[in-house]
Chain A
Amino acid sequence: MVNIRNLHFGYSRKRPLFQHLDLALERGHIYGLLGKNGAGKSTLLKNMVGLAFPDGGTCEVLGQPAARRLPAVLADLFFLPEEIHVPAVTAAKFVEQTAGFYPKFDHEALAYYLAEFEVPAQAVLPALSFGQQKKFMIAFALAANTSLLVMDEPTNGLDIPSKAQFRKLMATALTEERCLIISTHQVRDLESLIDTVVVLHGQRIVLNADLGELAERLTFATVPEASGADLYAEESVRGAQVIRPNRSGVAGRIDLELLFNALVGEAPALTSYLSQKQPTHEPVL
């Protein structure tokens, strides 16, 4: 779906944002893209959707270079930027003018999404509050029914009930044919919604892992005192929060915040543990 190989990019030649960046994303998943402020999350998404062009390497979407912006590709991808600008028309007029660009647009689904979000279809878009505008655009983005849907910080500006609605709609929108990508720095909002976590740090992708598999390999715990065998440890009021190899054989709960802190901090033990091959089963003779 998205295939990025050896990507180099920077807004200025002196300060490269990405170097030797590789990333492959498949259909049937909701990806959570995490990164610190300024790491380049939005810029990476813009490379994927053809709004920024690689300085080197390749960035392919649906089998085509994203930068070529082929109409057939653009008709099957939707990008929802963090800051949205709505034209001075009603929601219904916007749909009438814009839905035609997306051959798989699902009007029935749109009506359902708008009802769930409690956004009136007859409202004049700029007259809506920012949160309402954002919810309208999220509903439109989901209803466009494209194979690739890229959302930059979609939960920013949503109130608490709307965030819950957002998770519900995203969960029901995922199919085997669709690839949904959400960038966020609000890890807690999306922990249970994403199935694969992608971490951007230090000009490259430092993690692209299935949460279920991570849970089988890592244990997250709060203990009285950290030990030298921990892959990562962080002091807190409740004791040391640690990441350890999972030796129980039972998948636990991933603490995404702690994992993220470990990956963007100094945790060479964790990085080398994760880069090891997973223990393989008995060889088949």
Chain B
Amino acid sequence: MEFKDNEAIYLQIAGYVSELIMRGKWPTDSKIPSVRELAGDLQVNPNTVMRTYELLQSQEVLYNKRGIGFFVAPAAVQQVQAARRERFLSQELPEVFGTMLLLGIGLPEVQRRYEEFKNAQPQSQPLSTPA
């Protein structure tokens, strides 16, 4: 796994795990690789992977069966989507707003381009809105 320069590795691994769950590679209630296995695969410190798993457990994406391992939580996909939406709205969007202000780009222009962009996309279902 290639790590980006600007984000903590444990958060990047959380993103990687979340993507595997969203794509259905790790289905609900399946046992996921142990901390040590994933650390070996990704060549990272096991304490880092443990931190990732603990974070995802606190976000109810994973659950822990003591002595057995970590499993994908029933509501994992919704939780991952909710976390991703939250991140977009609270972190990525303000950055875009900042650039818009700096360059004097207004909402109508963005709206027009957004519609063009949407129409150019192949038909796909948007992610379901979390409850």
The interface of chain A, by Cβ under 8 A from chain B, is 28-30, 164, 167-169, 171-172, 174, 192-195, 212, 215, 250-253, 255
Assess the B43–A251 pair: CB atoms within 8 A: no
Q: A192-B43, A193-B45, A212-B51 are in contact. Are A252 and B7 (CB under 8 A)?
A: yes
- B82 interface contact, C-beta 8 A: no
Q: What's the minimum C-beta distance from B47 to chain A, rounded to whole angstroms?
A: 5
With A168-B40, A212-B51 already in contact, the answer to whether A174 and B45 are too (CB < 8 A) is yes
Q: Are A253 and B4 in contact (CB under 8 A)?
A: yes
A251-B8, A251-B10, A252-B6 known; A168-B46 Cβ under 8 A: no
Additional pairs, 8, CB under 8 Å, beyond known A192-B42, A212-B47: A28-B47, A169-B40, A171-B45, A172-B40, A212-B48, A212-B51, A251-B10, A252-B8
Interchain residue pairs with CB less than 8 A apart (16): A28-B47, A29-B47, A164-B43, A171-B39, A171-B42, A174-B47, A192-B3, A192-B45, A194-B45, A195-B45, A215-B8, A251-B11, A252-B8, A253-B4, A253-B7, A255-B5
With contacts A171-B46, A192-B48, A215-B8 taken as known, whether A253 is within 8 angstroms of B41 at the C-beta atoms is no
Which residues of the other chain, A, contact B47 by a CB distance below 8 angstroms?
28-29, 174, 195, 212
Contact of A193 with B11 in the complex, beta carbons under 8 Å: no
Complexed CA–CA distance, A30 and B39 (Å): 13
Per a CB cutoff under 8 Å, which of B3, B40, B45, B51 touches A253?
Answer: B3
Q: B residues touching A (Cβ–Cβ < 8 Å)?
A: 3-11, 36-37, 39-48, 51
* Residues of A with C-beta under 8 A to B4: 253
State the total of A-B contacts with C-beta under 8 angstroms.
64
Contact B46 A253 (CB under 8 A): no
Q: For the complex, would chain B's binding face be called helix, strand, loop or mixed by DSSP majority? A: helix
Q: Which of chain B's residues have a CB closer than 8 A to the CB of A169? A: 40
- The reply to whether A212 and B10 form a contact with Cβ atoms under 8 Å apart is yes
Instruction: Please measure, in the bound complex, the distance between the C-alpha atom of A169 and the C-alpha atom of B37, giving whole angstroms.
Output: 10
> Which A residues are CB-close (under 8 A) to B41?
168
Question: Complex Cα distance A85/B122, Å?
Answer: 63
List, in ascending order, chain A residues with CB within 8 A of B8's CB.
Answer: 212, 215, 250-253
Taken together as a complex, chains A and B put the C-alpha atoms of A162 and B18 apart, in Å, by 29
B43 pairs with A193, CB closer than 8 A: yes
A171 and B40 contacting across the interface, CB-CB below 8 Å: yes
The answer for the CA separation of A173 and B8 in the assembled complex, in Å, is 23
Query: B residues within 8 A CB of A255?
Result: 5
- CB of B38, distance to nearest CB on chain A (Å): 9
Chain B residues near A253 (CB, 8 Å)?
Answer: 3-9
Residues A172 and B39 in contact in the complex (CB < 8 Å), given A192-B48, A195-B48: yes
CB pair A171–B7 under 8 Å, yes or no, is no
Question: Complex formed: what's the CA distance from A164 to B37 in Å?
Answer: 15
Known contacts: A171-B39, A212-B10. The answer to whether A30 contacts B5 by CB under 8 A is no
CB distance from A130 to the nearest CB of B (A): 23
The residues of A that contact B40 with a CB separation of less than 8 Å are 168-169, 171-172
Chain B residue numbers with a CB within 8 Å of A250 are: 8, 11
Complex CA–CA separation, A58 to B117 (angstroms): 68
Chain B residues near A215 (CB-CB < 8 A): 8
Instruction: With CB as the reference atom, state the residue of chain B lying closest to A212.
Output: B51
Residue of A nearest to B36 (CB): A172
Q: How far is the CB of A1 from chain B (nearest CB, A)?
A: 15
4 A-B pairs with the lowest CB-CB distances in the bound complex, closest first: A167-B43, A251-B8, A172-B40, A171-B39
- Whether B6 pairs with A193 at a CB distance below 8 angstroms is no
Question: Which residues does chain A contribute within 8 Å of B6, judged by CB atoms?
Answer: 252-253
